[in-house]
Amino acid sequence: MDEFDALRQMRTALAEEEHPHAIELRSDWRTGRKGGGVRRPRSRFVLPLVSLGATAAVTAGVIAAVSEEPDDARGGTGTLSHEEQGSVLLVAATNALRAPAGAYWHTKSVSGEVYGVGTSAANHYKVDSRQGVDRWTDRKGKGRQTHLDLVDVPVTAQDKQKWQAAGSPTWVQVPLPGVPDQKAFLDMSAKPKGSGTRWMPFDGRYYGLSAAAVAELPTRPQALEKALLALKGDWHAYTSKPKKEPLGDLQGTERARALSDVVGTLLSDAPAPPAVRAAAFRVLATLPGIRPEGGATDPLGRRGTVVSLPLETTVTLGLYTAPQQLGTYRRQFIIDPAAGKLLAIRDLVVTPPHGSRRLPPGDNGKPRILRADQMPDRFHRPGEPVSYQVFEVAEWTNERPPS
């Protein structure tokens, strides 16, 4: 090999091209600065990326903020081959098996939804509306949980500036989809109003499965998928005739979406044994439409590897009789393959909402219409998150739950 060939083989992993949008989110040509108002520390050894808006959350004991980095420079978009994608989930599955056992399943998670506040794309800021839960479950399925009192925060430093420029309102107005002239309010008061931690008994079910049933789920991927397809529920994003049916009755993208919800829960909140988690990673790998997306930083600033699948809508399944959104989306699973863990699930805008859509009459018999200007994500750009769940802790432990 001559010196020129050797040179061309040096740092090839850095030479991968990323999608221009991913670059633009971090590098704004309009200002010559990194985009999103997020300054990453120069040295990667220092601090994980956390939006300034997260300061309030730190005091609440949980760090959560929506990262403005859908695709990190070290990952890139779609740079893994199918074999490598397989191997990411395979590695995660293998390492999930090695997770320690314990007497309690402990999870600490934050979920957030991002709302645009303001009147125009040029003049708005985004707010992350958050809820957190700390939960301990013993092997019999008995548990306790507490709600983490998190205030809603501006997403980026830039959003924070705009919010401050507006006088740092404690309550901000956001539209409610499908309900014209009605507004919702988000609480942005500086300090959490927590009056101490209140633990409540918890005896949860996971898509109808008790903790015991979760523990008994098959550990071979095909058998696990079969068991999940037999789960009964209302699996539609919207339907005029709600009814319970087996997940397996769904087809195509609806089935993939519902399975992604259930698998996501098995890999996070549910007290699933390591072998079931390992199988869940393998089921995830077989979902139609799932594809690699390189690396990303999760909302807690942790590095992960991403697989994603397209979503027609991000709304919770089984709640609605009519569509709620006008955009299209994709769901990212941010995974730490080495630890065999799911770090976060994040839903991003692919096509921002536009136009309008007529809906069938509601309860009051009046015709309804869904308009883009009523959407929480009306000012989102492609690649920006609309919602996320981040799993700060999800582990079996012998630590005692706090009394």
Partner 1 sequence: MALVSPVDASDDAGIVMASLEDPEAFGELFRRHSPRLHAYIKRRLGPTLADDLVAETFATAFKQRERFDGRTEFGAWLWGIASKLIARHHRQESRMYRAFARTGVDPAEDGLADRAGDRVSAAALGPRLARALASLGSQDRNALLLLAWGEMSYAEIATTLGLPLGTVKAKIHRARAKLRKHLPEEKTDG
Binds partner 1 by CB under 8 A, chosen from 28, 138, 234, 373: 28
- 């107005």: which residue's tokens? 173
* Cβ 22 to partner 1 shortest distance, Å: 8
Q: Does 24 bind partner 1 (CB under 8 A)?
A: yes
Quick one: CA torsion of 155, 384, 337, 142, rounded to 10 degrees?
A: 60
Per-residue binding string, partner 1, 351-380, x by CB under 8 A, is x-----------------------------
Q: What is the DSSP string of 63-86?
A: -----S-SS-TTT-SS-S-HHHHH
CA distance 308 to 119: 31
220 and 282 Cβ atoms separated by less than 8 Å = no
Q: Does 34 bind partner 1 (CB under 8 A)?
A: yes
CA distance 27 to 33: 6
Burial class of 335 by CB neighbour count within 10 A (0 to 12, 13 to 18, 19+): buried
Q: Does 7 bind partner 1 (CB under 8 A)?
A: yes
CA distance 250 to 317: 13
> Interaction with partner 1 in 53-72: which residues (CB under 8 A)?
72
**Binding span for partner 1 by CB under 8 A among 15-23, 57-65, 115-123, 365-373:** 15-23
215 and 271 Cβ atoms separated by less than 8 Å = yes
Per-residue binding string, partner 1, 251-290, x by CB under 8 A, is ----------------------------------------
Which letter does DSSP use for residue 365 in this model? S
Binds partner 1 by CB under 8 A, chosen from 55, 61, 74, 286: 74
Cα 86 from chain centroid (whole Å)? 21
* Cβ 127 to partner 1 shortest distance, Å: 24
Nearer to partner 1, 6 or 165 (CB): 6
Which letter does DSSP use for residue 360 in this model? -
Q: Does 16 bind partner 1 (CB under 8 A)?
A: yes
Q: Does 26 bind partner 1 (CB under 8 A)?
A: yes
Size of the site for partner 1 (CB under 8 A): 49
Nearer to partner 1, 121 or 166 (CB): 121
Element (H, E) at 215: helix 211-215
Nearer to partner 1, 10 or 201 (CB): 10
> Interaction with partner 1 in 284-343: which residues (CB under 8 A)?
295, 303, 328, 330, 337-338
CA distance 120 to 177: 17
Interface with partner 1 (CB under 8 A):
1-4, 6-21, 23-24, 26-35, 40, 42, 44, 72-74, 77, 295, 303, 328, 330, 337-338, 350-351, 382-383
